[in-house]
Structures are given as structure tokens and as C-alpha cells.
Amino acid sequence: MNLYSRLSIERKRTVWAWAFLSVPIFFYVVIRFYPTADAMVLSFQNWNLLGARSWAGLDNYVRLWGDPVFWKVFRNTFMYLILGTPISLVISFVIAYNLDKTRFLHGTLRALYFLPFLTTAVAMAWVWRWFYQPVPIGLFNNILSSVGIGQVRFLNSTSNALPSVLAPAIWAGLGFQIIIFMAGLRAIPVSYYEAARIDGVSNWTILREITLPLLKPTIVFLVVFSSIGFLRIFDQVFNMTTNDPGGPLNSTMPLVMMIYQTAFSSYSMGYAAAQTVVLFTVLLVVSLVQLRILRDR
């Protein structure tokens, strides 16, 4: 008999496991790990995409440190994170919590909330762009003027632009977060609530001491997941500020967009790679800190 048939059951399983694992491992090594490692190397080099690479040492990082645009962009990126994550989580939890108790048109309502998640970011961004236009075009300003409130410069003001871009990004992610929250809420046995009702505690106590603690794994997942999403925000900003990318005055520009521009407008691949390494580090640190803070004690 051949070699394979003489192997023990354990060994045969191992052979099969590795046979199947080899495909994703190959994929990850070639498509993920190699480019990641190469980007890290590239961050210490100069390269214009066509010519030869030359060593630059820490030049790219020193340049980044001294670049006022980078610090502005860094602040923007954290504003997306600090505003986006809690606001989207609170809104999606409130909706999920109430939707979970609603029987009337439950399926339809849930589908409506999930719909934005299925819509392409480009289409959504352009529709929101229309909402934000001044009168007589923009929806919001038309509503405001009809009730006698002055015009709001949503996308043209350095202070309003970032929240205005963030709003559709939050809205787009709500559907997914609501579904995950509802799955988490459904997983809590009904008898926990019934026992609490018999014990006579208030709805607020039930929410604070039973629902939220038992939702912790769901919350941890969503905090990490949505934080990564907001730190990597790009398509909403790109499509809503096409005439002045990241503007006005870089007030909406996130790190990913800066990387994109550095790489594909300025062709400074080394400098873009250094920014990517910074983004990677930020994502890693933020995720690890969140997991540590939110883990079970």
C-alpha cells in the first residue's frame, strides 16, 4: 500500500488540514504579509513608482513629524474615531433596543435600517452632497429656510465639514451595528428579564445591570470593528469633497486620503508607506487598548 494509507488517523487528519490550510496561507503570504513587509521596508526608502528605490533612512518619518498637514490629518482621523464610534454605537443600540421590542412591521423596519449598509458609498455620498447644498438645491437648507432658519454651510465651512462628512458615514454603518446589537439582545434569555420584573426592579436598572453587561461581548466587537472603520474612513470623504479633496483647508482629510494623495498624486511612495506604517500602528494600538479595557476582569 502507499505511504498515505499507512499513516495513523491523526496524521491523515493533519495532512488534510494542512492541504486545505495551504491555500489561504499562500494567499495571505503573497497578498497580505509580503506587501505589508514590503511597505515597511519602503517606508525607509524613496521611490517614485517607476525608478529605482533608494535608501532614505528615517527621512520619511522625520518629514512626517515635521509636516503640519500630517498633524492636521492625524487630528481629523481621531475626530472621526472619537465622534463616530460612540455616536454610531449609541444610536444603533437605541434603535436595536426599541426595534427588538417592536412587533409591528418588525421585518420591514429592520430591512429599512439595513438598507444603507447595502448601498454603495459613492451613491450615498453624492445623495448626501445634494442634501447639503445651499438653497434652492439642497434639501436640508430648503427645510431650514422654510422654517425661517438661516443657511448652514455644511461642506464649505472648516468647522462644519467634518461632522457633515461623518454623518452619512455613521448612517451607512448603522444597519450592520443594529443587526449585531439585535443578535446580541436576542441571545439574552427572556427569563432574565422576567425574573427582574418579578423582583420589581426598574427598566433603567434592568438596562444598566442586566442588558448592557450581558451585551459586553457584542459591544467589544462593535467598538473595535467600528473604530477600525472610522480610522480607515476614505470613500465618504473622497466622494463628498471631490472638488476640493479633503477640504476645505484639509479640514476633512483623513489619514487614508493623505496616503492616497501622497502615493498616487505626488508619487512619493516611500513617504506614503511611512504614513501607512503610522496608520497600521495606530490601528493596532487602538484595537489592543480597547480589547484590554473592555475585556472581562
Partner 1 sequence: MATVTLRNLVKAYGKTEVLHSINLDVANGEFVVFVGPSGCGKSTTLRMIAGLEEVTSGEILIGDKVVNHLEPKQRNIAMVFQNYAIYPHLTVRKNIGFGLRTSKMSKADKEKRIDEVAGLLSMTDYLERKPAQLSGGQRQRVAIGRAMVRDPSVFLFDEPLSNLDAQLRTQMRLEIKKLHQRVGNTIIFVTHDQVEAMTMADRIVIMKDGHIQQIGTPAEVFHRPANTFVAQFIGAPSMNMLDARWQGGRLHLAGQDLTADLNLPDGSALTVGIRPDDLIVSETPGLFSGTINVLEPLGTETLAYVDIGNGYEVIAKASGRMPPKLGAHVDLVADLANMHLFDQNGKAIS
Q: Which of 195, 207, 249, 291 binds partner 1 (CB under 8 A)?
A: 195
Give the binding range for partner 1 (CB under 8 A) out of 88-96, 99-107, 132-140, 184-192: 184-192
User: CB of 185: closest distance to partner 1 in angstroms?
Assistant: 15
* Residues in Cβ contact with 108 at an 8 Å cutoff, skipping those fewer than 6 apart: none
Alpha-carbon distance 69 to 275, whole Å? Answer: 12
Footprint (CB under 8 A) of partner 1, residues 216-255? 216
User: CB of 201: closest distance to partner 1 in angstroms?
Assistant: 5
Q: Contact between 200 and partner 1 (CB under 8 A)? A: yes
Q: Contact between 194 and partner 1 (CB under 8 A)? A: yes
Give the binding range for partner 1 (CB under 8 A) out of 66-74, 121-129, 169-177, 206-214: 206-214
Q: Contact between 192 and partner 1 (CB under 8 A)? A: yes
Q: Rank residues 31 and 187 by Cβ distance to partner 1 and give the closer one.
A: 187
Q: Which of 196, 220, 283, 294 binds partner 1 (CB under 8 A)?
A: 196
Q: Contact between 199 and partner 1 (CB under 8 A)? A: yes
Positive or negative, the CA dihedral 80, 238, 246, 258 is: positive
User: CB of 215: closest distance to partner 1 in angstroms?
Assistant: 10
Q: Are 29 and 36 in contact (CB under 8 A)?
A: no
Q: Rank residues 10 and 199 by Cβ distance to partner 1 and give the closer one.
A: 199
The contact mask relative to partner 1 for 131-170 (x = CB under 8 A, - = no) is ----------------------------------------
Residue 170's CB: how many other CB atoms inside 10 A?
Answer: 23
* Residues in Cβ contact with 163 at an 8 Å cutoff, skipping those fewer than 6 apart: 83
Give the binding range for partner 1 (CB under 8 A) out of 45-53, 96-104, 176-184, 187-195: 187-195
User: CB of 203: closest distance to partner 1 in angstroms?
Assistant: 12
Alpha-carbon distance 53 to 80, whole Å? Answer: 34
Residue with cell 423582583: 199
Q: Contact between 295 and partner 1 (CB under 8 A)? A: no
The contact mask relative to partner 1 for 36-75 (x = CB under 8 A, - = no) is ----------------------------------------
User: CB of 183: closest distance to partner 1 in angstroms?
Assistant: 18
Chain CA centroid to CA 245, Å: 20
Give the binding range for partner 1 (CB under 8 A) out of 86-94, 189-197, 230-238, 259-267: 189-197
**Residues at the contact surface with partner 1, assessed by CB under 8 A:** 189, 191-192, 194-201, 205, 209-210, 213-214, 216
